[in-house]
Each structure stands twice: as structure tokens, then as C-alpha cells.
A = this chain, B = another copy of it.
Amino acid sequence: MKRRTLIEGAIASAAVLSSTGALAAASDSELKAIKQAVDAGYDASLRRIEDWVRFPTVAAEKLNVDEGADYMAKLASDAGFTKVRKVATGGSPAVFGVIDAGAKRTVGLYFMYDVKQFDEPNWSSPPLEPTFFDHAKGRALRGRGVINHKGPEATFLATLHAFKAAGVPLPVNLVLLAEGEEEIGSPNFFNAFKDPEVLAALQGCSDVFMPTSMQGLDGEIGIYLGAKGIIECELIASGGERWGRGSSLDIHSGFKASVDSPVWRLIEALSTLVKDGGNTPAIDGWFEHFRPLTDRERELIAESARNSKEADIKQVLGVQRWINDKSWQEALEANAGQPTVNIEGLVAGYTGPGGKTILPSRATAKLDFRLVPNMSAKDGLAKLRAHLDKRGFQDIEIKAGGHYDPTETAETSSLVRAEKATLETLGVSHSVVPRIAGSYPGYLFTGAPLHKPFNQFGLGHGGKAHAPDEFYLIESKDPKVAGLREATLGNVEFLYQLAAL
């Protein structure tokens, strides 16, 4: 069944999930029943995505925090999880649940129930009103959170509903831990791991993963071995008591001649954090624990560079040149291997149309710092504070947001082997990516005390996460790219592969 395309499989449904490979564990009749249940549940699965999109949790705005957790808990219960409950974290609650299928192996699931802010202009349809549109690859659904991460998560729930409806036991037991603050950097999620029941359940897992729709436009998948860490924080310069200079009020800018400006002060402080036009961190000791890419990582990136289309990605990103006119392979190496200092946003003084002649009392820079092994967020924050202090910027406040350490999972781990086997069985082109440039709180699973393999996995396609017109492909017309139905079936294969290890 190698290289069989998904849609062929989906059409010849009796063949797609055949009794070869891992699926030998399931009887033909069980597989047939699951597939029939996927089809019978299709409308409900789609509605589940749409309804969830309509009910956003946005941690940055404290929007629907408890309500979003309750919604997540109901989704879990409906899909067959037991012992479902909210776990206090000090911030948005986590949601816990288990499915004991009587299987030998137990696998962990990480979900997020929050989404990015949805107030950007330029959406083609209201961001909370899921809307179908014609995408190059088929019919796609547009809405906030639909790819990041409600669509892929709800697709996994559709898989569980299909098992349940078919009366087929899951091939693995499951432990779910969902959080509601991923989009603000999971500042409190670590507290959920202190809950004895949660910790014990996770310790019993062989592997942990997050359902994700990972296919590119040609259906290819990059299996991630890790992600960068991140520190999000605000640097705030303000006039008045803390600094002893500037003004505690926004005053007439005529006074600039005799009054210091916290805006210039912030700019001066920011300038010390980087060199090379903002492209290289210059914080004291920032590279102390930096580990360069390994030979194997470079080899994987080179392969990835050969197998991906630089021009397509530049077009999607609106980019003409990479930093220093790097080659595609060098750009990918930087994404995987280089720590960054990024300014997400600047706010000071008057921000409306035209001008306003004030000397502002306050200036804020919103920063994110991406970290690579073996840097840590805690150490980074301490180094940032020390760097500013050493230069006399004790008055500049660091308001820490979320932060993750980098996360890594071995290429030889059971999780990655199951993923490779799934994609080979389903005929999905794939490569191994040493590290994504984005961040997720995988270190909570891969770091102490759990030390579990962890990454993101799943078929399907979507895009524009964090941006207007975020979308998720529902009905694919490309045999190489999964829609909702095919991604739901892909999860079935994956669960059997995990069980077969």
C-alpha cells in the first residue's frame, strides 16, 4: 500500500485502511465500521469545528477563559474522555481527561483551547463566523483558530467519535491535557503538571503529541524533532519616580529641551540588545549555553531545502530577500538554529492619525526572544535584566509574559518512528525537520520530570495562523492533500501505529 494516495484510499475506502501493517491489529470489520462512522459523523464533525470557532477564548484579552475551559471539557467528554475536569493553574484553567481503552500503551495528547486575537482588519469574512471559500486545493473554512488549533484538534475528536460510534476500542489509552494560554506563551500551564493525578497520568504515557494539520500544498509533511523556546515580555520606560527623570505626565513637547524622554531612553536600551540591524542578539552572555546545529540537523535541513520550494514560501511570506541575502538552505538553518530578538510591537505617546506635540511619559516595546538548545527562558530573562542593569537601565521595567524552554525529541524515539510509519503506510511524502522556528510548550513534556517524546502530528492543510483569513481545508480536491475526512482517517492509522510499537 506504499505511496497510495490518500484520496485514492478514501475513494477505495475498503482499501485505505487495509489489514496491512499496523492495521493488522484491527479486524477488517472493525476498520469498515470505523470508516462508516467517519462518514456518518462527517456533518457533526464539521459542525463541531464551526461551533468551536464561534466561541473564542483569547487569553490576552481574558475573553471566555472559564467558559472556554468548560467548552473544552464538554468536547472531551463527548468524545469519550472520562475523569474530565478543569485543573487550576493560576491563569486559564487546564482541562484533563483520560480514555482507558484497556490497551497496553498509553499516549498523551496536548490541546490548546485558546486562539489568537481576531481583531485585525482585512478579514474577508467575519473571523468568528466560519465561512467556506474556494481554495486552490478545494473547499476551505475561514475563521479565527480554524488551523491553530481548533480544526486539527476537532478532527482528532472526530476520530475518537468514529471509534466510539463503531464500537471499536481504541488501540491505545489516551491522556488529554488542554491549556487555554498557549497564545500568550503558557505562563501558567506548568502549574497543571503539579497536580498529582495529571502528573501520574502523564508519567504513564509512552509519548505525547498535539494534533496538527501539517501538510504543505503538495501534501508533504515535515516531522518536527523540536521547537525553539520563547520569552515574551514588555520593556517599559517611563518618566517620573522610577527613573527620576522625564515626566510622569504626557506634557507639551516644547519641554523636550529641558525634560528627558522615556521614548528615547527605550530606544537607547533596545539598541543595545541587538547588532547587525537587529539580526543578532547582543545581550551579555546570550550565547553562553547556545548549541550550534549538529551535523545530522544540517543534513536534515539540507534535505528539507532540496524538497521545498523557496519561491513559494517567499511569496506566501511576502518576502523578497532573506537576511544578508542568505540562500534557502542558510535561511532554514537560521530558522532552526539561531536565537532571535524580535519586536512584536511598539507603543508610545500619540498613536492616532497625524501628529500631536507631546513628550510622552511612557514607552513600551513588546518583545519575543526565540531560544535554541541549550538556552533556557529563566536564564534568558535573568541575562536580559543583568544586561540592562549593567548599562544603567535599572529603571526600565521588564514585564514578563509567557516563556518556554526549547524542546527536542530524538529522531529515534517511538513517537517519531510511529509518525514515519504512518506516513509511509499512507503514502505521504515527508521529511524530518530538526526544529521549527515557532515555539510551543513541549519542554513541559520533554523536559524534567517527564522526559517524554513530544511533537505535533497530523494530516490536513491550512494556513494564516495568527493572521487574517486563517483557514483549514475541509474538502480536498488534491489526492495528495487531506481534507477533514482523510485527516480523520489518518489519525486512525496513527493510533494503530502507536499501538504497534
Contact = CB atoms under 8 A, between A and B. Distances in A.
Given A264-B277, A437-B254, A321 B352 contact: no
Interface stretch (A128-136, A242-250, A421-429): A242-250
Contact of A350 (B228, B317, B344, B352): B344
Interface in A245-270: 245-261, 263-265, 267-268, 270
Interface residues of A, number: 97
B264 A274 contact: yes
The prevalent SS among residues of A at the interface is: mixed
Chain copies in the assembled complex: 2
A46 interface: no
Interface stretch (A27-35, A71-79, A360-368): A360-368
A439 to B, nearest CB: 7
A495 to B, nearest CB: 29
B335 A255 contact: yes
A257 B353 contact: no
Nearest to A319: B247
B345 A436 contact: no
Nearest to A343: B263
A356 B239 CA distance: 26
Contacts of A346: 263, 346-349, 351, 363
Interface string A296-339: 00000000000000000000011111110010000110111110
B368 A253 contact: yes
B278 A261 contact: yes
A347 B344 contact: no
Interface string A428-442: 000000001111000
A401 interface: yes
B253 A344 contact: yes
Interface of A: 59-61, 116-117, 119-120, 183-185, 228, 230, 232-234, 239-241, 244-261, 263-265, 267-268, 270-271, 274, 277-279, 317-323, 326, 331-332, 334-338, 340-361, 363, 366, 368, 370, 401-402, 436-439, 465-467
The residue in A234, A241, A246, A326 that gathers the most chain B C-beta atoms within 10 A of its C-beta is A246
A368 B270 CA distance: 21
A354 B401 CA distance: 7
A368 B343 contact: no
Contacts of A347: 346-347, 351
A183 B252 CA distance: 12
B277 A260 contact: yes
